[in-house]
Amino acid sequence: MRTNEQIVRQALSRIEAGYVFPEKTAAIGAAIGRRLAEGAYERLDGPSLCETVTADLQEVCPDKHLRLLWADQPQSLDPADEDEGRAAFLALLKAENQGIRRVEQLDGKVGLIDVRRIAYADEGAAAIGAAMQLVAHSSALILDLRECRGGAPEGAAMWCSYFFRDDQVHLNDIYERSTGATRQFWTAAHLPAPRFTDRPVYALTSSITFSGGEDVAYTLQAHGRAVLVGETTRGGAHPTARHPVTEHTLVTVPTARTINSVTGTNWEGTGVIPNIPVQADQALKAALEDLGT
């Protein structure tokens, strides 16, 4: 059985090798090294170790995607099986209807889509298209992102594509540390359902909204395509890889950073700030009132 020190040191090696801001890894390593020398992690059980190390990581480097996580179900440690968490997330999306919780027609012909995860564009296209087909003739649309905890950048771009006329809108870029390359994200040329243009779009947010959910909200707001209603979001903007350290612990390492084409920056650390700030449980009511329905 591996000691807690071995687990933490392997997690640190993953961070040093892959973190999107390599200039910050020395400070991270030094801070966690001091905690190891103090014996801070020696007697902790698995979940407590993950919680404590995560708090220490984020104290020295406040990146909400930089974490040590506990997994109740055993994970494969075979390097051939490592896919940075994609397989597990695909299985979760399949079980959760590609992240779409419900689609509803409200009074006044206002459509509502409750999105809990942002699916991959290829796997999720049909479900996203089906949801958009159901609201295609609505007078306005509300995207409920209050419980959206993240997902794929490609899926975020697909969701956003529905709200622009064509494929000529440059949404954002993602810079990858491992390659030094910057990938551009533009609106899609072809979509499986009609685009939703020339009508109001609102996005509901909360302090739970995170990562991919923030991507959709921030992008639509920055491009002037949606009014955000609710609470400031959690503030995690860095695409992340997941690496198993033991069968029950994994380290999440932000390996890239998002750059919005309008603002030139992102929502990391600050969250996405709503246009109409209200408590999350009042956001739908406030959006409908702003629409005059």
* Tens digits of residue pLDDT in 18-48: 999 999 999 999 999 999 999 999 999 999 9
pTM across the whole model: 0.90
Q: Which helix (H) or strand (E) covers residue 172, if one does?
A: strand 170-176
pLDDT-derived band at 145 (thresholds 50, 70, 90) equals: very high
Backbone angles phi, psi at 65, to 5 degrees: -90, -5
pLDDT at 2: 85
**How far apart, in whole angstroms, are the C-alpha atoms of residue 266 and residue 278?**
22
User: Using 50, 70 and 90 to split pLDDT, how confident is the model at 88?
Assistant: confident
How high is the pLDDT of residue 81?
56
State the CB neighbour count (10 A cutoff) for residue 1: 4
Largest CA distance in the chain: 63
Q: Report residue 90 as tokens.
A: 């695909």
Q: Which residue has 């609106």 as its token pair?
A: 187
Domains and CATH numbers, the chain: 4-72 (no CATH), 96-236+271-291 (3.90.226.10)
Whether pLDDT at 120 is above 80: yes
Give tens-digit pLDDT for 175-193.
Answer: 999 999 999 999 999 999 9
pLDDT band at 99 (very low <50, low <70, confident <90, very high): very high
Distance CA 286, CA 119 (A): 28
Percent of the chain with pLDDT strictly greater than 70: 97
CA distance 253 to 20: 8
Q: What is the pLDDT of residues 251-262, one digit of tens each?
A: 999 999 999 999
Contact 125, 156 (CB under 8 A): no
Asked if pLDDT for residue 90 goes beyond 60, the answer is yes
Q: Buried (b) or exposed (e) across 275-292, using 16+ Cβ within 10 A? A: ebebebeebbebbbeebe
- 221 pLDDT above the threshold of 70: yes
Report the pLDDT value the prediction gives residue 73, as an integer from 0 to 100. Answer: 83
Residue with token string 């650390």:
269
